[in-house]
Amino acid sequence: MRFIIYGVGAIGGGVAGSMALAGKDVVGIARGAQLDAIRAGGLRVRTPTHDAVATFPCVTDPGEIDFRPDDVIFLTMKTQDTKAALESLERAGVRRQAIVCLQNGIENERMALRHFDNVYAAVVMMPADFVKPGEVVINCGPSRGVFNIGRYPKGVDALAGEIGRALDEAGFAVFPEADVMPGKYGKLLMNLSNVLDAAAGQEARKSELAKAARAEAEAMLATAKIGVTSEFRHDDLMRIKEVPGTRRTGSSSAQSLVRKAGSIETNYLNGEIVLLGRLNLVNVPVNSYLCDLGRRLVAEGIEPGSLSMEELQKDFERFTGA
C-alpha cells in the first residue's frame, strides 16, 4: 500500500513525514517553496520528543504520479482548494483508489463523492504548525494526532482498518468510526474561533464573540436536526505540548495569514453555519460577521493577531447595526 499525501502543509506534512520515517511508502504533492525545500533537503518533522528529517518523493501535480490500484490518497489541503485537487486527480487517471479527507469542515467529503465512489471521512485532532518551508511542528503528545476514520457517508471496512494500522505505526492514534460526520460537526464547532485566533491571537478563542459564535452554531445545528458529538476527543492520547525551540503560530487560519497564502478557510467553517442559516431561513449574525472578517483579513492584508477584541466587538456591532 502506498500513501499519496496531497497537500504537504501542517497536517499533510506531519502525516507524510511521520509515515516516511516509519518506513511507509509515501509520495507527496506540494507546491512552491515547500516543494523546493522537500526536494532539496527533505522535510524536518519536530515533535515534543523527536526531531528528524524525512525524505520522500514529492511532485507538483498528480499527473506526475503513475497511480496504482491500491494507492490511498490523503486530501490535506484547505477546503477552498479541494475542488481543483479532485479535478487534478481525475485528470491523472484516479478512479477507484481510496480518497481520505483528512480535513476540517464537512464539505470535502461531499465534493469528493461527486468525483469518486471510494471516499473516507476523518475527524482530525492534530495541532501542527507549518510556516517555514521544509519544516512541520507537531505540538502534541503522546500521540502525534488522533483520527477517527470511516467510510463516507457511513461504514467501516477492512481498508479503513489497514489505513488506521499504518497511521498507528507512524505514531498516530486512529479509531475506526462507522458514522464519522457527527464528530466532524463537533470538530467544526471547535474551529469556529479559528478566524478570531487569526485576527486577534489565541486568547480570542475564549472571548465572548467566540462563545456567541459557538452557541449560535449549536442552535442552528439543532434546528437543522444535524447530529453532533464530541466523543472523537481522546485527551489522554493527545495533549498540547511544547516543542523545544518553537513557538506556536495558532490556528490553521492564522498560519494561512502568516504564509500570505491568499485565502482562508472561514467560508467552509463559519460559512457552513451561514449556509445552514440561509437554507433554513434563520439569521446567524455572529458567524456571518466572522465570514466577513475572514474576507477582510485576506483582502486588506491584515497582520495575524494585530487586532484587539475591543476593535472586533465594535466592528461586529457596526456589521449588525446594533
pLDDT digits (tens, 9 = 90+) for 260-275: 999 999 999 999 999 9
Position 32 scores a pLDDT of: 96
40 contacts 10 by C-beta, under 8 angstroms: no
pLDDT digits (tens, 9 = 90+) for 162-173: 999 999 999 999
pLDDT digits (tens, 9 = 90+) for 141-188: 999 999 999 999 999 999 999 999 999 999 999 999 999 999 999 999
Q: Return the axis-axis angle of helices 270-279 and 208-223, rounded to nearest 10°.
A: 40
Position 176 scores a pLDDT of: 96
First vs last C-alpha separation in the chain: 57
Task: Decide: pTM greater than 0.85.
Answer: yes
- Walk me through the domains of the chain, giving residue ranges and CATH numbers: 2-320 (3.40.50.720)
pLDDT digits (tens, 9 = 90+) for 203-261: 999 999 999 999 999 999 999 999 999 999 999 999 999 999 999 998 999 999 999 99
Position 277 scores a pLDDT of: 98
- Percent of residues, the chain, with pLDDT higher than 90: 98
Q: How far apart are CA 69 and CA 26, in angstroms?
A: 15
Average pLDDT of the chain to the nearest whole number: 97
Position 195 scores a pLDDT of: 97
Q: CB count, 10 Å around CB of 25?
A: 15
Confidence of residue 322 (pLDDT cuts 50, 70, 90): low
Position 242 scores a pLDDT of: 94
Position 100 scores a pLDDT of: 98
Rounded to an integer, the average pLDDT of 113-137 is 97
pLDDT digits (tens, 9 = 90+) for 59-98: 999 999 999 999 999 999 999 999 999 999 999 999 999 9
- Specify the long-range contacts of residues 255-258, CB closer than 8 Å, at least 24 apart: 255/10, 255/129, 255/130, 255/131, 256/78, 256/198, 257/198, 257/297, 257/298, 257/302, 257/303, 257/304, 258/131, 258/304
Cell of 44: 524536518
